[in-house]
Structures are given as structure tokens and as C-alpha cells.
């Protein structure tokens, strides 16, 4: 049977409807795809827009250009409650500074090797070296440090440093002095060896009230 201009009117109408449906099916599919893609991209952006600033590819030891280094510095206030003695442990007081425009939450620290000793000073200003109690003789290390540099130790409680803020924390009994520490290290202030890193999470979080108390216990 011919499908040309001599087709019957009802068939002609059916063909028009089919053609119309095919057109709308194709158009609808394209529209659905475009709308879906836009929604997906927009939704993702809205959900984690701060990730863009942190470089979503940052992982492990790497660091995006937009993430600033944290600084952990020695401070004398508040003074340590638990003081070091031969064969014992003592508190470490530090201020963590976060230069980033978002809060950073610390969950663990990475320690240097256990033969990395603190240097001794005569005052809390850490400006005048204590004779006979140097970074080669003090026998003061981070507690639970191992023979391997970079060993990771979880904090008892996570510490959140406010955006562009700082947090002073007492790390309870996280410094250690061997039993053979020299007498020259008595009544001495110690600048602890540099940590090799921290494990931190960026993003919205309630800052920890300063001064805080925390520790790692293993």
C-alpha cells in the first residue's frame, strides 16, 4: 500500500502523531540530560564549595596550593602542671595557628624519631641555652615516639582551630625524659623537637575553646 499523498486521512493523522512523539521524545531526552547535568554540577558545588579552595585533589602528604601550613609554637602560658623528671613524663604546652580561612580539625600528630631530643633553656622564653642540656644530651623526647620518624598518634579528642585563629593546648604527659637525663636538665625549659606532621580535616566545625587540654596515650 502506498504511503504517499493518497494515503487515507486517518493514517495520515496517525503518522503525524508518531512523528510528533518521536520529536518530543528526542527533545525531552536531550533536555533531561542537560537539566540533569546542570543539577548535578550545581548540587555538587553547593554541597562542598569550600573544597574548591582546598584543592579537591589534596590527599595524604600532598598539599594544595590554597592550604596554608599550620604552625605549632612553644608557649609558656598556661604553665605545665606535670613537669619532667628522670624516668617520667611531663606536659607540653603549644599554640596551634591556623592561617586558613576555614576551621581545621586535628585528629592525630606525627612524631619525629625517638632519638630527636628537646633543647634545654634557662627560662620559659627559650632564649638562653641551658649548659649541659642541649638537643644532643637532654634525653627529652615526645612520649610514644618510636624509632621511625613520622609515627602517627591519635589525639584523645579532636582539636578544632578556628579559621584564621589559634588554639593553645596542653598536651598532658606527652613529653618524656629518660632515667639517665643529666642533672644539668633540672629546672629547665624545653623546646620540643618539631613534629613531622598532623592529620587534619578542613571544613565547618565548632572551634575548641582555648586553652584546651588533650593528649595522645599510645
Partner 1 sequence: MKRRHSFRWLVFAVTLTVGFLAQQPVGGAATHWTVSLKTGSGGEAQSITASPPTGATAKCTSPSAQTIIVSWNTPSPSTHLTSYTVYEAKSTTGTPGSYTSLKTSATSPYTTLTLSPDNYWFEVVAIYASKWSSAYSSATAETTIASSGTECQQP
Residues in 170-199 at the binding interface with partner 1, rule: CB under 8 A: 171, 175, 177, 179, 181, 183, 185-199
Query: Residue 155, interface with partner 1 (CB under 8 A)?
Result: no
Q: How far is the CB of 8 from partner 1 (least distance, A)?
A: 24
Find the shortest distance in angstroms from Cβ 69 to partner 1: 5
Residue nearer to partner 1 on the CB measure, 12 or 24: 24
Answer positive or negative: Cα dihedral of 124, 126, 132, 136. Answer: positive
Question: Within 10 A of 11 (CB to CB), how many other CB atoms are there?
Answer: 11
Q: How far apart are CA 204 and CA 50, in angstroms?
A: 9
Q: Is 120 exposed, middle or buried (0-12, 13-18, 19+ CB in 10 A)?
A: buried
Q: Nearest 5°: phi and psi at 73?
A: -120, 155
Q: Verify binding: residue 207, partner 1, rule CB under 8 A.
A: no
CA angle 203, 71, 89 (to 5 degrees): 110
Among 59, 127, 131, 209, binds partner 1 (CB under 8 A): 59
Note whether 178 and 86 are within 8 A (CB).
yes
Q: Which of 113, 126, 158, 162 binds partner 1 (CB under 8 A)?
A: 126
Q: How far is the CB of 37 from partner 1 (least distance, A)?
A: 5
Give, as ranges, the residues between 65 and 104 that touch partner 1 (CB under 8 A).
67, 69-76, 79-80, 83-88, 90-94, 104
> In the window 10-49, what residues touch partner 1 (CB under 8 A)?
21, 25, 28-29, 32-33, 35-41, 43-45, 48
Amino acid at each position: 500500500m502506498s504511503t504517499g499523498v493518497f494515503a487515507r486521512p486517518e493514517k495520515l493523522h496517525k503518522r503525524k502523531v508518531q512523528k510528533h512523539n518521536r520529536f518530543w521524545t528526542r527533545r525531552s531526552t536531550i533536555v533531561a540530560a542537560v537539566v540533569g547535568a546542570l543539577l548535578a554540577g550545581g548540587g555538587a558545588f553547593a554541597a562542598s564549595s569550600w573544597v574548591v579552595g582546598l584543592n579537591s585533589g589534596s590527599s595524604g602528604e600532598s598539599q594544595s596550593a590554597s592550604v596554608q601550613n599550620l604552625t605549632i609554637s612553644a608557649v609558656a602560658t598556661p604553665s605545665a602542671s606535670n613537669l619532667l623528671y628522670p624516668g617520667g613524663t611531663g606536659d607540653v604546652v603549644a599554640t596551634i595557628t591556623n592561617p586558613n580561612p576555614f576551621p581545621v580539625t586535628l585528629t592525630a600528630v606525627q612524631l619525629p624519631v625517638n632519638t630527636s631530643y628537646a633543647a634545654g633553656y634557662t627560662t620559659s622564653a627559650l632564649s638562653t641555652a641551658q649548659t649541659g642540656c642541649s638537643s644532643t644530651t637532654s634525653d627529652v623526647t615526645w612520649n610514644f615516639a618510636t624509632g621511625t620518624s613520622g609515627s602517627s598518634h591519635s589525639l584523645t579528642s579532636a582539636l578544632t582551630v578556628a579559621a584564621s585563629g589559634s588554639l593553645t593546648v596542653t598536651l598532658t604527659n606527652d613529653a618524656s625524659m629518660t632515667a639517665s637525663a643529666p642533672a644539668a636538665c633540672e629546672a629547665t625549659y624545653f623546646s620540643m623537637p618539631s613534629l613531622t606532621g598532623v592529620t587534619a580535616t578542613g571544613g565547618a566545625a565548632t572551634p575548641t575553646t582555648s586553652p584546651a587540654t588533650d593528649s595522645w596515650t599510645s
